[in-house]
Chains A and B, each alone.
Chain A
Amino acid sequence: MRKILVLVEHSGGVVDDSAYELAAAARNLGEAGGDVSVGGVVLGNDVTDLAAGLGAWFENVYVFDSPRLQVPDGVAGAELLAGLIEQEQPFATLIPHTNTGMDLAPALAVRAGSPLFADCIALETTPDGLSGVRTRYGGKVHARISATGDGGFMATMRPGSFDTGEAPGSDGALHTMEVPGDLAPQRRFVETVAPEPGAVDISQAEVLVAVGRGIDEEEHLEIIRSLADVMGADIACTRPVVDKGWLSKSYQIGTSGVSVKPKVYIAIGISGSYQHIGGIKGAPYIAAINKDPAAPIFGVADVGIVGDLFDIVPLLEQQIREVKGVG
């Protein structure tokens, strides 16, 4: 029976949803009609209870529990996983394509000598190996990628791209793994830093007017603020706006910023990278305004206008004023 390993991400004692998504994706990687045995791997400090709770999802749970693993360290994690891969000889090892996963997977692929599929949005077995789909060029193109061989594949999987489904109800065995005494993380932890809080908490906003790279100049933010004011909405932005220093990080929606769950979301001059979309939770009504008809944002929006935001936004504000009967 084919073995698949899944790296379980967790923080603050809570298992990340990606673990269940990858566990479900792993079950589709059997040989034609064949069963698979899915193993979950947990790295961390004081995580044995957390690992023990994963038995319904995995046939085996391997836990490396040590104070030395308190702070994730891709190099140390790669060393431990490489040992487990050597021992278990899995067909594939699946790792979430998160900041933490991206830190570990390439180092592991070098150590284990594995082909590494990065940032997969689909993954399936082929008669002679493994095949996946990923995005390229900022999401404007999809690529089908493949590798051949009997096993030892590795893939990082984009969170949110695989259905979780139901727990298969396995009665997984917990394996307490030894953390070698000479495993010395190369990073010295200094501190964890949260972004400075903004004037508003956009994570609770019901209507968001978000702006991206297309705004071009800091002073142009005024038309966005003005539109948001008349709508009674909050403003938000994507990473390039924060990179320029035009808005603080607390306004940034995305996997490296704030997660939001509005009812209505207006994306203005935003291309729609998956890192940005990953910060939009729930199922908001999404309207997109962008001059590039090929912008990936139109693939996730409900409604779109292809046009110049500097024409559309003032007109939108004016028409909303008329509808609301305000000056």
Chain B
Amino acid sequence: MDIIVCVKRVPDVAEAEVDIDSSGRGIQLGTLGYVINEWDNFAVEAAVSLVEEHGGKVTAITVGGEDDEDVLRRALAMGADEALCLTDPAFDGSDSFGIANILSKAIADIPYDLVLTGAVSGDVGGGRVGPMLAAMAGIPHVCLATELSVDAGTARVRHEVEGGLERVVELDLPALVTVQTGMNEPRYVSVLGIRKARRKPLTAAGAAEIGIAPDSVGPAGTRVTVEEMFLPPKGEAAEILQGDDEDTVAALVERLRQQGGV
């Protein structure tokens, strides 16, 4: 049971004020910390625990530069066996289609039964790379999985559909499943664990190694371009109550009274 898990490092904007950078097409990353994409963390846990149960190997893959190897070391510390960093100047600026294309070429050379990705990413958040990768690799996929088990060449997946419902389906392996948060409890990763994981193999591969034409990825291969980024219009934003806590709470209680909430 060999599993490929695709991971991504993202800026942690959860409690940060975000500003637009001087290019107007991105955000200022200067003071932001980086984390593994939240959904990917659940995907790594799923991959590692499936291999613990069934045997086999987990390979963690990311597309990025040297700094992005952090998330691979983290995946190795969680129990992945090998890691692959797809890195090439030609890859910079790829859109979702480009990233899926790079990944599809890379996994073509690796034996696998299952590919796992996060359902979406915290930065871009379109949820496209996983199902695009499946389509390019010619394998079936299911999105937004909340439970996943494997038995004799078949994956059984519970996944979110509409109206708060979930559906259980089975599909033949090899297949790709995108993982929703909450599927499991991702194990804790210690600094010591990451240090120990340095003994595990982490290799890098570029466009030539995976056999992809440099002009089919990066800006040249981009199908959808970001023209500009801007902060959301503040037009109908909330009235922010001013003063110390006693004052703001008193003002809130008054408004809740008027609205019938108290």
Contact = CB atoms under 8 A, between A and B. Distances in A.
B121 to A, nearest CB: 10
Contact of A303 (B15, B165, B239): B239
A66 interface: no
A316 B251 CA distance: 10
A115 to B, nearest CB: 4
Place the interface of chain A in its size category. 35 or more
A231 B262 contact: yes
Contacts, number: 276
A147 B135 contact: no
A103 B165 contact: no
A312 B135 contact: no
B33 interface: no
Given A136-B124, A186-B175, A298-B240, 10 more contacts: A99-B159, A106-B96, A106-B131, A107-B135, A186-B140, A187-B169, A249-B164, A299-B234, A305-B248, A305-B249
A138 B13 contact: yes
A291 B223 contact: no
Interface residues on chain B, size class:
35 or more
Given A116-B97, A147-B224, A99 B164 contact: no
A207 interface: yes
Interface in B137-190: 140-144, 156, 158-172, 175, 180-182
A263 interface: yes
Interface stretch (B1-9, B16-24, B44-52, B212-220): B16-24
Contacts of B236: 299
A136 B125 contact: yes
B237 interface: yes
A141 B232 contact: yes
Interface of A is mostly: mixed
B230 A144 contact: yes
Nearest to B250: A319
Contacts of A75: 134-135, 140-141
6 contacts: A107-B131, A131-B227, A188-B170, A299-B237, A319-B250, A320-B262
Interface of A: 9, 11, 16, 71-72, 74-75, 78, 98-100, 102-103, 105-107, 109-111, 114-119, 131, 134-147, 156, 186-195, 206-207, 213, 231, 233, 239-240, 242-244, 249, 252, 256-259, 263-264, 266, 271, 285-288, 291-294, 296, 298-307, 311-312, 315-316, 319-320, 323-324
B240 A187 contact: no
B256 interface: yes
Contact of A109 (B27, B97, B143): B97
A145 B181 contact: no
B226 interface: yes
Contacts of A110: 97, 100, 132, 135-136
Contact of B165 (A190, A192, A292, A320): A192
